[in-house]
Amino acid sequence: MLANFVSRDIDEPDFSPLFDKLREQDDELTKYILNLRKAQKRFLLVLPEPHWDPEGFHHSLLTALAEALSRAGISYRPSTHFTAALERIEDWRKQRPEAYEKLQNALLRRGVTVQQLTDGLKAHKGSFYEIFEEVHKEVAYGATFEPIAYSTPRDVFADTIKYLRKTGEWAGIFIIYDEFGRYLSEMANAPESFDAQNLQKFAEYCKRTGEEQCHFMVIAHQTLADYARGKRSQEEWQKIYGRFISGEHTLSVSSGEHEMEELIHTIITKDRDNPLWSEIERRFNILADEVIERNLYSNKTTQWIEQVLLRMVMVRHLPLP
């Protein structure tokens, strides 16, 4: 729901059930949320794969950004890609003369010199980048050029956000990284490791983006402090923690005895116009009598059992003909 909320037009009909439910809980808060969202343009949603990337944290972010741009139909190539191509050419020239000679020959067959190619890349001309991608395969025995190997997420994301904002359609980028516990555990175990340092630097960058917004939300089963408990001193961990937002948010689903039923009741929308509803009502009456007779929810009223537990929750699991 959050992903849709930040990346789609808030006036789309699909959001109506959500805000109807919110109004039932708090009308003023609903108005505030709506006004806050309407004041913002939408965000490009970046969803890294929710598992540990063996090639590292940087790789997971950059590949997810490339997928997000493709998914949104945005044919933009960050300036860092051109810089990476230039660095690759320079590396061939200095370190691998045989590769550099293959580059010259591959370009010659296309009527282009190395100087023309590098000038085109410096000018960020897409046609020259495409030529480089072609000749790279010839020089590197069929290997596709991977610019992310030469780029840092901070530079790529900053460059991409500037482009997105110039289009007038986007406010920035919103990253939602699910199942992030392993990265946080790694950071707690070895905060000076390469990946942990990259994570902390990127979090610091997001914290300071200002108008060129890059939001970085991670979802894990424990808080940052929980992952560090017993591994780092409080003072040491506070330095790391400070790189993240000062108001860490946690969601508890265990504060109430029957909170899960209440939560499901809140998000399910009832459809009384459905012709099957009368049959559902009939079966609910039977189930309600049985729940009360068995004293399964002794501290709840009959009304709560009927309205919350049965009509709103068990409808999801009730088999109907």
Tens-place pLDDT, residues 153-203: 999 999 999 999 999 999 999 999 988 888 888 777 777 888 888 888 898
Which of the residue ranges 61-65, 152-156, 314-318 would you say has the lowest mean pLDDT? 314-318
* pLDDT, position 317: 45
Least confident of 110-114, 198-202, 211-215, 266-270: 266-270
pLDDT in tens, 16-48: 877 887 887 788 988 988 888 888 899 999 999
* 251 has a pLDDT exceeding 50: no
Question: At a CB cut-off of 8 Å and minimum separation 6, what does 79 contact?
Answer: 124, 159
- In total, the chain counts a number of residues equal to 321
In whole angstroms, give the CA distance from residue 60 to residue 179: 13
pLDDT in tens, 131-165: 999 999 999 999 999 887 777 899 999 999 999 99
Sequence-ordered alpha helix ranges (H) in 112-269: 114-122, 126-139, 153-167, 181-189, 194-207, 224-228, 234-241, 259-267
The two three-digit tokens of residue 163, written as one number: 């482009």
Supply the DSSP string of 252-290, one letter for each residue.
-S-SSTTHHHHHHHHHPPP-TTSTTHHHHHHHHHHHHHH
Q: Which residue from 155, 162, 228 is spatially nearest to 196, judged by alpha carbons? A: 228
C-alpha torsion 2→6→12→15, nearest 10: 20
Within a 13 Å sphere around the CA of 144, how many CA atoms are in the beta-carbon half? 2
